[in-house]
Amino acid sequence: MENRLLEIKDLHVSYGSVCALWGVSLHVPEGSIVALVGANGAGKSTLLKTIAGMNRPKNGSILFSGKHITGLTPEAVVNAGIAMVPEGRKLFARLTVKENLELGGYIPRARPFIQKSLEQAYELFPLLKTKSNQIAGSMSGGEQQMLAIARSMMSRPTILMLDEPSLGLSPLVVKMMFELVEELNRKGMTILLVEQNIYQALKISHYAYVIKTGKIVLEGKGEQLLSDPEVQNAYLGTME
């Protein structure tokens, strides 16, 4: 059947005595956009952070191309081919755009190709090339989000995880951002997208999961969920 690039089985994560994820299972097929949607505090970011190696799961396993990556350090996860664009972008604000990009290619696997990746990134985001010597912290929100995505692309990942890429951006820029995600996917990138902007996320994704208080409550094709009355009532009712 389809190739399961990333597979998560029965994942439990807790912060101290507070349980954040209760047996989450999902999988991301190669070449697809999978969206993970849910309300604030449902556990979306926790899941991404656990995949990225920032949190240690209590139970369960994470498989990447069939290999266990559970409990690896963040550095090892990136090196394996999973890149993450964190919530709030987390750029190195005092470094220049170019330096931010170069550091994206810091891992051993990507380091020999830094020059090449840099050219590719500039090709994808011509704006970044013109601003390459600017301090990252001085750019606008949309530009920073672009840089954050470009930086994670520098590690030549197989899968890209985006945590709330539309947060704090103007509607026009949000639209551009989603177009960009689709474009990346057309170029062959597998994407795991976490969003609060549920309508947009479901529209572009091939498959989607709805997470609520640490559990997956619904799943299905993006458009299918979009028309699901339960989703409409619970999440989309408040959206435009």
Partner 1 sequence: MFDYLTFGLLAQLFINGILFGTMYGLAAIGLSLIFGTMRIIFLSQGAVIILMAYCCYWLFTLFKIDPYLSIPIIGLAAMVLGAGIYQGLFRRAVKMEDKNITLLIAVGLMFLIENLMAVMWTPNPRSISTGYTSSSIPVGGLAISFTRLMGFVMAMLSTAGVTLFLKRTLVGKAVRAASEDIEAARLVGISPHWVNTIAFAIGIGLCGIAGIALSTTYPFDPYFGFIFSLKAMIALALGGLGSVFGALLGGIILGTLESWSSFFISGGWADAVSYGVFLLVLLFKPEGLLVRSVKKV
Q: Measured from the CB of residue 140, what is the shortest distance to partner 1 in angstroms? A: 11
Structure tokens at 52: 């990225």
Q: Cβ closer to partner 1: 96 or 232?
A: 96
Q: Measured from the CB of residue 57, what is the shortest distance to partner 1 in angstroms? A: 17
Is residue 140 near partner 1 by the rule CB under 8 A?
no
Q: Measured from the CB of residue 139, what is the shortest distance to partner 1 in angstroms? A: 9
Stretch that binds partner 1, among 23-31, 32-40, 69-77, 204-212 (CB under 8 A): 69-77
In the list 20, 37, 51, 107, the residue contacting partner 1 (rule: CB under 8 A) is: 107
In the list 115, 138, 170, 227, the residue contacting partner 1 (rule: CB under 8 A) is: 138
3-state secondary structure the chain: CCCEEEEEEEEEEEECCEEEEEEEEEEEECCCEEEEECCCCCCHHHHHHHHHCCCCCCEEEEEECCEECCCCCHHHHHHHCEEEECCCCCCCCCCEHHHHHHHHCCCCCCHHHHHHHHHHHHHHCHHHHHCCCCEHHHCCHHHHHHHHHHHHHCCCCCEEEEECCCCCCCHHHHHHHHHHHHHHHHCCCEEEEEECCHHHHHHHCCEEEEEECCEEEEEEEHHHHHHCHHHHHHHHCCCC
Is residue 165 near partner 1 by the rule CB under 8 A?
no
Stretch that binds partner 1, among 59-67, 134-142, 174-182, 187-195 (CB under 8 A): 134-142
Q: Measured from the CB of residue 114, what is the shortest distance to partner 1 in angstroms? A: 8
Please answer whether residues 199 and 9 qualify as being in contact, where contact means their C-beta atoms are separated by less than 8 angstroms: no
Is residue 73 near partner 1 by the rule CB under 8 A?
yes
Q: Is the dihedral of CA 64, 65, 68, 69 positive or negative?
A: negative
d(CA 73, CA 217): 29
Give the per-residue contact string, 171-210, with partner 1 (x = CB under 8 A; - = no). Answer: ----------------------------------------
Q: Measured from the CB of residue 136, what is the shortest distance to partner 1 in angstroms? A: 7
Total number of residues binding partner 1 (CB under 8 A)? 35
Stretch that binds partner 1, among 51-59, 172-180, 206-214, 227-235 (CB under 8 A): 51-59
Is residue 74 near partner 1 by the rule CB under 8 A?
yes
d(CA 81, CA 131): 28
Summarize as ranges the residues that interact with partner 1 (CB under 8 A). Answer: 52-54, 73-75, 78-79, 84, 86, 88-95, 99, 102-104, 106-107, 111, 114, 135-138, 144, 151-152, 154-155
